[in-house]
Chain A
């Protein structure tokens, strides 16, 4: 609860700091605020209960997820160093919006009332629409922002319609009221089912699960890379946990009904995400499609819905965030060193000869790609293992086989940048700011650490 307050205030402070403080010294302030938010979460530790008239629920597992979100935001800020130095950038506003969006994300993982979920979703989305179009001089960025805004607001409308149906059926916005219609006859449940489907559709859009994924590649490509990383990690984590809360508390008695269509969505996400990613030449588009397939894997824990599923999902989110942020971070450094036609090149061939240009970055890229592909000794392996294990426990074996098959497909496109980085080249060394270097070291180290000893993190949940 406290980080929500901290970030609401610090976002405003950030705007005012932008008036008086030099552009380059804004990032330390941003990191300071985020660390304060991270620390303020300790105040809630071991104080479970409902807050703000039953609007938010706080418990230790929720606090852990909030830590994951804030930690991911810190890492994203870390890789943003030196990115907003040019004259047309407004870092104070960017960081302020990032903190506000984080407030929305924090609300979304701890809501107890569907209205709170809507408020959180809007705070998060509206901030992201702005961030997507924040590079005003980039035509693709403008296109991405308008696409994201239009489709996102439609999805929010669909979600809200679902919430209205939910309210109509149960007479309450409280998420636990879903159980009250369990004994109703078919007629009384009709609206409840309608609401359930629409709520799912609205939220699945936001994590770009397969039939609702069409915006993803264009938006990830058009948005400034830092914010693509933000979108890929924080939004996905927040929305998947919102979905998990709904599945576990509101719709758990309807499991038989929604799990059937969710499992099809998971299959579609894996197939479309992985197969389409093979044909991409733009690295941001590759990561966009990879994020679609990862969304499919994350949804597996909703199918599992066991005692361990929440922790598995938390583990998956963190390991995915670490790997994705380090992939985006390495790419960010290299692409801003490779200018083609006045813009940073986004083609996969920017990685050519990375190992001789900067061996550290090449190793970090290798670790992050292996983790995304799910190779043992990285956290990505365990995260995939746990969620597939969850789904298998419920008897969905065909999705398990599909998941493993699609992981094999994903090896192809995850190994492309690695292969490129060991090519020979005569290009010079790459310089990297010390902050983003240490951020990337932390990402890679944690990926390996959780790969060797996953229970360090998992036992906390």
Chain B
């Protein structure tokens, strides 16, 4: 056989439909066959802890997003530090100056965000 004809892929199709059918079947079977107590408590998303109040869609302070972005930034910085640490001796002074430049740029950004007051959490 030198060329795949459409019917050669039939087993794949059967495999897909079996997988999908199994998932659908389990969901319906477990809902309708299993013993089940229905009450308001049971239908709650959380059974214990503080009772949930209001809607989950609350307007959040933009500060959270800023801090999340800053976290990602410094996280990525650390990722760059690791390969440098592994090859520290091999890269020598070249690696050191490159890294100094990288951290220098990052610190300039850090200076900027501090001056902008991004980390002043108690202000609104």
- Residues of A whose CB lies within 8 Å of any CB of B are 15-16, 19
Contacts and interface: CB of A to CB of B under 8 A. Distances in A.
B116 interface: yes
Contacts of A16: 108, 112
Interface string B81-124: 00000000000000000000000000010001001100000000
Nearest to B105: A12
6 contacts: A15-B112, A16-B108, A16-B112, A19-B112, A19-B115, A19-B116
Interface of B: 108, 112, 115-116
User: Considering the complex of A and B, which 6 residue pairs feature the smallest CB-CB distances, nearest first?
Assistant: A19-B115, A16-B112, A15-B112, A19-B112, A19-B116, A16-B108
Contacts of A19: 112, 115-116
A16 B112 CA distance: 7
B78 to A, nearest CB: 23
B115 to A, nearest CB: 5
B110 to A, nearest CB: 12
A224 B115 CA distance: 27
B81 to A, nearest CB: 23
Nearest to A15: B112
A134 to B, nearest CB: 15
A19 B110 CA distance: 13
Nearest to A19: B115
Contacts of A15: 112
Contacts of B112: 15-16, 19
B108 to A, nearest CB: 8
B89 to A, nearest CB: 33
A69 B112 CA distance: 30
A126 to B, nearest CB: 15
Nearest to B114: A19
B114 to A, nearest CB: 10
Nearest to A93: B116
A15 B116 CA distance: 10
B73 to A, nearest CB: 15
Contacts of B108: 16
Contacts of B116: 19
Contacts of B115: 19
A19 B115 CA distance: 7
B3 to A, nearest CB: 18
Nearest to A20: B115
A19 B111 CA distance: 10
Nearest to B108: A16
A16 B115 CA distance: 9
Nearest to B115: A19
Nearest to A16: B112
A20 to B, nearest CB: 8
A19 B113 CA distance: 10
A49 B116 CA distance: 43
A15 B109 CA distance: 10
A19 B116 CA distance: 7
A15 B112 CA distance: 8
B30 to A, nearest CB: 40
B59 to A, nearest CB: 14
Nearest to A12: B108
A15 B115 CA distance: 11
A15 B108 CA distance: 11
B26 to A, nearest CB: 37
B116 to A, nearest CB: 7
B123 to A, nearest CB: 15
B124 to A, nearest CB: 15
A457 B52 CA distance: 70
A146 to B, nearest CB: 16
A19 B112 CA distance: 8
B107 to A, nearest CB: 13
A373 B98 CA distance: 57
A90 to B, nearest CB: 10
A16 B108 CA distance: 9
A371 B46 CA distance: 68
A125 B18 CA distance: 46
Nearest to B116: A19
